[in-house]
């Protein structure tokens, strides 16, 4: 029986015995319950009922005796009769109910007897009460009562007999219940003992069978030799059930392991054999290069190979080049046999003809027909193999053994023969070279002797012809050189011409590309600055408008608009600056920079930013640095401003510091002007911010790239600051580099040279910087200073009061602009200054309106307009006699190289780039109208 079935049988018997025990207990408990119910609900009720009836009868009898013996007669009333009648009816009903519930014949007979006696007693009682009501004397009543006393006694006797019978039945039921309980306990104990014995027997049977099987399996497993798994003992798979399946699975696994062990053993043997083949092949091949003749090579070869293959005799046959004959030139333990074979003769010749290996196994002892190179010896196994080179047989190897050759020996022979042909050919080649060398030496000696004989005869002729030959040779060489040089010159001329044409084409393409780029930047500058001009002017007007009284919230809105417009302007300037640097055409102006003042400006500029972010800001300047350096202060300030802005932006807590010190000479290596300056200044900006991963440190200097460059990034910005800083650093002859670790902050280092004389003359070709749009992007500082000096007095005139009078009040101004936003802005600004404003949408309309007006005090001229642009309009105005001296201020958003000069050359008096500032525009107008 299987393990699973045994478990099911044991569990089933256990459940069966438990179920049997439960049924027995339930049956006996039900019997006890019925006995108890009979005692409590039946017998006790009947005894109690008959006891109460007896009590009522006693009470009625005492009442009757009391009535008979009472002399006063007070209770002889009709009420007593009524109560007695009710008592009689109640006892009768109870006797009837009791009779109905009786289930034994004797009980029914006794209750009927009680009913009969009760009826007689009731009749006697009713008679006495009736006589008592009729006034019968007490003596008569007592006499009647005494006569009927037997009836009373019979009644109580019947009741006592009935009660005694019921009590006997109760005792019998109680005794039966007790016996049933005792029997139940005995039965339960017996069944429990039987169940325990049976369950124990079943468990012992299951456990013994399981343990016996497991022990058998364990012993089988212990017998396994883990060092040699080629033979594994098997389990008895005749066992039924799960253990039988385990035995079968184990046997199957053992068979698989035996197969795998056999395969592994075979694999190891193959590997050992392969290693043996490879090592011996390598050893044999190594001595190929150590021999210089075929005799020594073949002897060493056959001597080493024959024992390795397990051979007893060996021979080596080499092919003669003159004829198809194979001659034996080496042997191993060979004292007899033939010295050679022709191709196709014997097995050696046949092997050479067929170009394949021949193997003879179990050669008969009396077999003499086969002729081999070993003569009459009869080996057990013979192997004959050809030596091939480019599919040509150059030698044959024959080895004989008194035992069969193994596959490894055959494989070894095949491996060494693959390269033997090359070795033999190399040696034959060297031998042929030596032979030819010897022949050449002999012929040389012979020629030398003949030459000596002829030399004496030729000396005279030679002396005569030498001079002529030398002259001829010189002329020939000279002509060849001239021809070669002529050809080279022609080729180089053609190459130079092609290169020149290619360079000219590239130059045209670059010039055109630069022109397109400049034009694109100009157009983009105009398109962006034109609406930006309105934004900045109108927001500035709203902030300065004291008449309408803007609310604080509206003023805050205006500040945000103005600030946003200014940020956009800075972005445009950054893009233009970056484009100019990339084109190599940004103006650099070298001037004195006082480092103490420069450091102070940086500290004042960022001190409030540090306080707002609750960050420590430290500016340090060492004493070893010169107090004055020569560089472009504006570009240097923009570099450090960008670096400090980034440091504060990416630092939430901690410290931002800048240190100005002298740069060591070794740190200037790699700078564009390394070696051209004696003094180098090092600016180090350090922060404790988020840091930069090493893989992004190179990328952050690219335009529009940031460390936090994701779409949902935390930090804003365009990503131009570091790119501009790097380019400006190169522009100043230095470098900008970074050293940072993610999460530990960053350190940006700027190293620039001190250039009192500007760029070195030797580097001007490399650093060819031209004036581009610096003047247009950022208004000329000199012009601004001049305007400020001239208009200082005029500005004092407009300090307060809405009715102030200035130099602009009452003057007529013509505003020529095709953008209605700019016209609207300028019109409102100038009207507030008390000026009369005339507008024109293009140059033609401007000329028409100026011709219609008697006087025009000043003209604000946009450059890029349809129909007629600003340049042509200015020229036309200057050609008109009536307005040739009218001040004209050019206003344009096109901020490219030469725009300012073009405007002044066309006849404009001043030039202001958009977006303009109101005070700048009004200051310029006051200058030209004062």
- Comparing 837 with 205, the larger pLDDT belongs to 837
Position 548 scores a pLDDT of 64
Mean pLDDT (the chain) is: 75
Show the beta-strand stretches assigned E in 680-805.
Answer: 680-687, 735-740, 746-753
Residue 76 burial (C-beta neighbours within 10 Å; 0-12, 13-18, 19+): middle
DSSP secondary structure letters along 702-736: STT--SS-STT-SS---S-HHHHHHHHHHHTT-EE
**Rounded to an integer, what distance in angstroms lies between the CA atom of residue 670 and that of residue 305?**
67
Contact 667, 751 (CB under 8 A): yes
**Rounded to an integer, what distance in angstroms lies between the CA atom of residue 654 and that of residue 56?**
111
Report which DSSP code applies to 270: H
Report the run of H or E that residue 414 belongs to, with start and end: helix 407-544
Position 713 scores a pLDDT of 42
Residue 818 pLDDT more than 60? yes
State yes or no: cis peptide before 915, omega within 30 of 0.
yes
Position 717 scores a pLDDT of 47
Residue 352 pLDDT more than 90? no
At 427-482, the pLDDT tens digits run 777 777 777 778 777 877 777 777 777 777 667 667 766 776 777 777 778 778 77
Residue 644 pLDDT more than 80? yes
Give Cβ neighbours of residue 43 (< 8 Å, ≥ 6 apart).
166, 167, 169, 170, 173
Position 795 scores a pLDDT of 42
* pLDDT-derived band at 716, boundaries 50, 70, 90: very low
**Rounded to an integer, what distance in angstroms lies between the CA atom of residue 433 and that of residue 845?**
104
pTM above 0.75, yes or no: no
At 586-643, the pLDDT tens digits run 667 788 999 899 999 888 888 888 898 899 999 999 988 888 998 988 888 888 988 9
Residue 367 pLDDT more than 70? no
What radius of gyration do the chain's Cα atoms show? 68
Report the run of H or E that residue 191 belongs to, with start and end: helix 149-222
């Amino acid at each position: 029986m299987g393990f699973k079935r045994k478990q099911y049988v044991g569990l089933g018997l256990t459940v069966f015995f438990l179920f049997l025990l439960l049924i027995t207990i339930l049956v006996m408990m039900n019997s006890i319950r019925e006995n108890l119910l009979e005692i409590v609900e039946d017998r006790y009720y009947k005894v109690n009922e008959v006891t109460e009836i007896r009590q009522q009868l006693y009470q009625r009898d005492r009442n009757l005796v009391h009535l008979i013996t009472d002399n006063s007669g007070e209770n002889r009333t009709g009420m007593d009769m009524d109560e007695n009648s009710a008592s009689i009816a109640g006892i009768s009903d109870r006797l009837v109910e009791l009779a109905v519930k009786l289930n034994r014949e004797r009980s029914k007979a006794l209750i009927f007897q009680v009913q009969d006696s009760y009826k007689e007693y009731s009749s006697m009682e009713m008679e006495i009460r009736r006589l008592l009501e009729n006034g019968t004397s007490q003596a008569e009543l007592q006499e009647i009562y005494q006569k009927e006393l037997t009836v009373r006694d019979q009644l109580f006797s019947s009741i006592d007999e009935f009660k005694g019978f019921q009590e006997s039945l109760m005792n019998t039921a109680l005794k039966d219940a007790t016996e049933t309980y005792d029997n139940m306990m005995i039965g339960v104990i017996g069944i429990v003992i039987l169940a325990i014995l049976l369950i124990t027997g079943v468990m012992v049977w299951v456990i013994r069978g399981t343990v016996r099987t497991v022990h058998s399996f364990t012993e089988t497993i212990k017998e396994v030799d883990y060092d040699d798994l080629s033979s594994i003992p098997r389990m008895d798979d005749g066992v039924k059930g799960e253990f039988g399946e385990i035995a079968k699975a184990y046997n199957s696994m053992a068979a698989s392991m035996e197969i795998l062990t056999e395969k592994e053993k075979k694999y190891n043997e193959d590997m050992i054999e392969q290693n043996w083949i490879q090592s011996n092949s390598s050893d044999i091949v190594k001595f190929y290069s150590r021999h210089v003749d075929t005799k020594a090579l073949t002897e060493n070869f056959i001597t080493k190979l024959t024992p390795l293959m397990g051979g007893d005799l060996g021979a080596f046959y080499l092919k003669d080049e003159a004829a198809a004959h194979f001659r034996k030139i080496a042997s191993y333990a060979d004292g007899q046999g033939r010295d050679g074979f022709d191709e196709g003769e014997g097995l050696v010749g046949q092997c050479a003809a067929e170009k394949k290996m021949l193997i003879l196994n179990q050669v008969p002892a009396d077999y003499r027909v086969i002729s081999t190179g070993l003569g009459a010896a009869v080996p057990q196994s013979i192997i004959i193999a050809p030596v091939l080179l480019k599919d040509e047989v150059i030698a044959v190897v024959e080895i004989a053994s008194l035992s069969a050759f193994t596959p490894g020996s055959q494989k070894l022979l095949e491996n060494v023969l693959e390269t033997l042909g090359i070795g033999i050919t190399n040696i034959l080649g060297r031998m042929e070279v030596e032979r030819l060398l010897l022949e050449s030496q002999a012929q040389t000696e012979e020629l030398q002797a003949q030459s000596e004989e002829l030399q004496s005869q030729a000396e005279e002729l030679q002396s005569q012809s030498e001079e002529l030959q030398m002259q001829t040779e010189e002329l020939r060489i000279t002509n060849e050189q001239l021809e070669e040089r002529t050809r080279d010159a022609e080729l180089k001329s053609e190459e130079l011409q092609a290169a020149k044409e290619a360079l000219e084409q590239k130059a045209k393409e670059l010039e055109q590309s630069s022109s397109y780029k400049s034009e694109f930047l100009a157009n983009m500058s105009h398109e962006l600055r034109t609406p930006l001009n309105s934004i900045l002017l109108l927001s500035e007007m709203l902030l300065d408008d004291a008449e309408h009284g803007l609310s604080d919230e509206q003023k805050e809105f205006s500040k945000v608009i103005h600030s946003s417009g200014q940020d956009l302007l800075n972005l445009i300037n950054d893009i233009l600056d970056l484009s100019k640097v990339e084109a190599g055409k940004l103006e650099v102006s070298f001037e004195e920079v006082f480092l103490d003042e420069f450091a102070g400006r940086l500290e004042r500029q960022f001190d409030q930013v540090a306080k707002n972010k609750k960050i420590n800001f430290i500016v340090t300047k060492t004493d070893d640095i010169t107090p004055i350096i020569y560089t472009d202060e504006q570009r240097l300030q923009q570099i450090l401003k960008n670096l400090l802005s980034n440091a504060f932006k990416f630092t939430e807590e901690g410290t931002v510091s800048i240190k100005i010190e002298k740069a060591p000479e070794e740190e200037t290596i790699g700078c564009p002007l390394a070696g051209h300056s004696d003094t180098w200044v090092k600016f180090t900006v350090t922060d404790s911010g988020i840091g930069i991963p090493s893989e992004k440190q190179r990328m952050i200097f690219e335009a529009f790239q940031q460390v936090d460059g994701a779409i949902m990034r935390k930090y804003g910005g365009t990503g131009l600051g570091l790119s501009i800083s790097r380019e400006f650093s190169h522009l100043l002859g230095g470098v900008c580099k970074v050293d940072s670790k993610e999460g530990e902050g960053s350190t940006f280092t700027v190293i620039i040279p001190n250039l009192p004389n500007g760029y070195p003359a030797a580097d001007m070709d490399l650093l060819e910087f031209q004036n581009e749009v610096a003047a247009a992007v950022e208004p000329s500082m000199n012009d601004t200073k001049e305007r400020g000096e001239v208009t200082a007095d005029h500005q004092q005139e407009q300090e307060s009061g809405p009715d102030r009078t200035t130099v602009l009040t009452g003057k007529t101004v013509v505003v020529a602009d095709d953008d209605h936003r700019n016209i609207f802005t300028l019109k409102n600004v100038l009207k507030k200054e008390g000026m009369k404003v005339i507008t024109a949408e293009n140059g033609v309309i401007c000329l028409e309106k100026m011709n219609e007006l008697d006087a025009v005090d000043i003209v604000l001229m946009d450059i890029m307009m349809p129909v007629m642009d600003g340049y042509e309009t200015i020229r036309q105005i200057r050609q008109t006699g009536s307005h040739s001296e009218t001040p004209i201020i050019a206003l344009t958003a096109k901020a490219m190289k030469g725009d300012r000069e073009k405007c002044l050359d066309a006849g404009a008096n001043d030039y202001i780039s958009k977006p303009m500032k109101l005070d700048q525009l009004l200051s310029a107008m006051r200058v030209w109208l004062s």
